[in-house]
Amino acid sequence: EGQLVESGGGLVQPGGSLRLSCSVSGFSFSRYGMHWVRQAPGKGLELVSSIRSNGDRTYYADAVKGRFTISRDDSKNTLYLQMSGLRVEDTAVYYCVKDEDPAVLSAVFGYWGQGTLVTVSS
């Protein structure tokens, strides 16, 4: 299954920016589609963004479209989420997630990192 380690979370003011990173090891990163899923404190799960294995297609939840950008650097085995125009409602733990299927971006969330907390507050 490998290891997914998120970083880059923290406290930011409304309107600010953050870049999350997810460092991957233990599997062939370039073969898998990847996702960011978030969980607001005490709440359920929400898919934020997804990227295909070759990076040619990306997808975003309506709530973050135009503000967040997902990307990957296969040479560094790293997934990114650039977040701008942050809102209080973006406060959540952000999980880096490996897709279950190496052949297609299936949206079966096969393996999760431990998450990084993003807090948006003045």
CB of 14 to other proteins, least distance (A): 26
Is 108 near other proteins (CB under 8 A)? Answer: yes
Q: Which of 90, 113, 118, 120 binds other proteins (CB under 8 A)?
A: 113
Angle at 22 between CA 20 and CA 25, to 5 degrees: 170
Q: Does 27 bind other proteins (CB under 8 A)?
A: no
Q: Pick one of 44, 56, 75, 122: the residue that binds other proteins (CB under 8 A).
A: 44
Distance between CA atoms of 52 and 38, rounded to whole angstroms? 19
CB atoms within 10 A of CB 68: 22
DSSP state of 64: T
Two structure tokens written together for 42: 């005490």
| From candidates 45, 63, 88, 103, binder to other proteins by CB under 8 A | 45
Toward other proteins, which CB reaches closer, 16 or 24?
Answer: 24
CA distance 116 to 99: 19
The footprint of other proteins (CB under 8 A) covers: 1, 44-47, 50, 57, 59-61, 95, 100, 105-115
